[in-house]
Amino acid sequence: MKFKLGQLVLTMKVNATIAGNSQFSEHVFNSLKRHAHGDWGELCQEDRSLNELSMQEGGRLFSVYKKDNQPTIWIITEWDRSLTTVLFPDEY
């Protein structure tokens, strides 16, 4: 891992989707592993560069993960690495 995730938080909608869909649950788990290793998913180069700067200077980290037939998720780790949230884009 490149950084600690801190406390993990799922929105109510993400949690409900995990409960009813084992493939989505696997998607979330794998995406969290990717996020913690600095694989930012489907971000544009500008956002990737912002994440790399945030790794050095302590800013917020943001990732986007898509998988066929599964909802897109966003993962956000706060600047102090105390909290990581998994949410759907429409919940931001």
User: Any bridge partners for residue 10, and if so which?
Assistant: 86
**Each residue's pLDDT tens digit, 30-47:** 999 999 999 999 999 999
Which one-letter DSSP state was computed for residue 21?
-
Which one-letter DSSP state was computed for residue 5?
-
pLDDT of residue 43: 96
- Decide: residue 25, CB within 10 A, 0-12 exposed, 13-18 middle, 19+ buried: middle
Give the pLDDT mean for 18-32.
Answer: 97
Beta-strand ranges (E) seen in 4-91 are 7-10, 61-67, 70-77, 83-87
**Each residue's pLDDT tens digit, 44-90:** 999 999 999 999 999 999 999 999 999 999 999 999 999 999 999 99
pLDDT of residue 2: 93
How far is the C-alpha of 26 from the C-alpha of 43, rounded, in Å? 21
If pLDDT is split at 50, 70 and 90, which confidence band does 11 have?
very high
